[in-house]
Amino acid sequence: MTDMDGAQNGELPLVVITGGLGRVATVVLPALRERYRVRLVDRATTGTRTAEVVQADIGEPEAAHRAFAGAEAVLHLAGNSSPWQTWDSVYAANVRTTQIVLEAAAAHAVPKVVLASSIHALGEYNRPAYWPVDPRLDPRPCCPYGLGKVVLEALGRTHAERTGASVTCLRLGLTGWPPTERRYLGQWLSDGDAGRLVLAALRGGERYGVHFGVSANSRNEWDITSARHELGYRPEDDSEAFADRAGPSSGPVCRLFDPEISD
């Protein structure tokens, strides 16, 4: 496997980020630029001078194949993150796209793939009786979006088994936003910790793993023990700093929040 911490022939390893101009990619890019060459792939036309940008629809097989040329790792962030989607939308934007990404990664023998999953894959466990939720529990998605992430994780496992690549799935919490509502305090992932988590995932050599991605929050609702021990993730931030300013719930969000814990 490629040493993702080191340079080869004097050149830093290349990480291709799908959804490269999106919210999560923008958050983690500063940390990645310190150690890797970065190629951002996105349908958007707005560019950046801090990394190579390829305008392409990653859901098109030929475009994905071209975009992954020379990659030593793929960070797959592209997709629709709305919890209010229908299954048809989830399949088109998230499931099918992930399948295409993995097929392109296999064609180029990319040794490391990091997939952005979500806590929605286990959203039905977001109840006090289960806190902190163990990532080893059987999936119980709270919405079609979460179901799509369950399928994404299964595709990642199959890819790892068939190709020998290392695949890490990160079940991200609230990323790229401050926790302005109290119900988000237990699932917040700070910008700094998001960068630390992705760096740890890229360095990890596990054949296949699934880990929650939240900060070191005092409201310990999602267990990040596996990310700490198996990836070497070292979060530094705590959502409790926002607790005094966090307000009540603004409305329903699929079934991730039970009425008794919505505030």
What is the distance between the alpha carbons of residues 56 and 108, in angstroms, rounded to a whole number?
18
Give which of 43, 35, 42, 41 is closest to 14, Cα–Cα: 35
What is the distance between the alpha carbons of residues 141 and 133, in angstroms, rounded to a whole number?
13
- Assess whether pLDDT exceeds 80 at residue 134: yes
pTM of the model: 0.95
- Assess whether pLDDT exceeds 90 at residue 5: no
Average pLDDT over residues 6-12: 64
Cis amide leading into 83 (omega within 30): no
Q: CA torsion angle for 246, 251, 254, 257 (degrees, to 10)? A: 40
- Assess whether pLDDT exceeds 80 at residue 263: no
Q: Are 140 and 134 in contact (CB under 8 A)?
A: no
pLDDT tens per residue, range 53-109: 999 999 999 999 999 999 999 999 999 999 999 999 999 999 999 999 999 999 999
pLDDT tens per residue, range 215-253: 999 999 999 999 999 999 999 999 999 999 999 999 889
pLDDT tens per residue, range 167-211: 999 999 999 999 999 999 999 999 999 999 999 999 999 999 999
What is the distance between the alpha carbons of residues 17 and 25, in angstroms, rounded to a whole number?
7
Residue with tokens 């990394």: 51
Q: 29 falls in which pLDDT band (50, 70, 90)?
A: very high
Q: Are 100 and 76 in contact (CB under 8 A)?
A: no
What is the distance between the alpha carbons of residues 155 and 201, in angstroms, rounded to a whole number?
18
> Could you tell me which residue, 97 or 260, shows the higher pLDDT?
97
**Sign of the alpha-carbon torsion through 124, 127, 130, 131:** positive
What is the distance between the alpha carbons of residues 65 and 116, in angstroms, rounded to a whole number?
20
- Assess whether pLDDT exceeds 50 at residue 2: no
CATH 3.40.50.720 fits 14-249+256-261, yes or no: yes
- Assess whether pLDDT exceeds 60 at residue 3: no
Question: Longest C-alpha distance within the chain, in Å?
Answer: 57
Q: Are 201 and 224 in contact (CB under 8 A)?
A: no
Give, for 100, the enclosing helix (H) or strand (E). Answer: helix 96-107
Give which of 167, 245, 240 is closest to 202, Cα–Cα: 167
**Sign of the alpha-carbon torsion through 113, 119, 123, 127:** positive
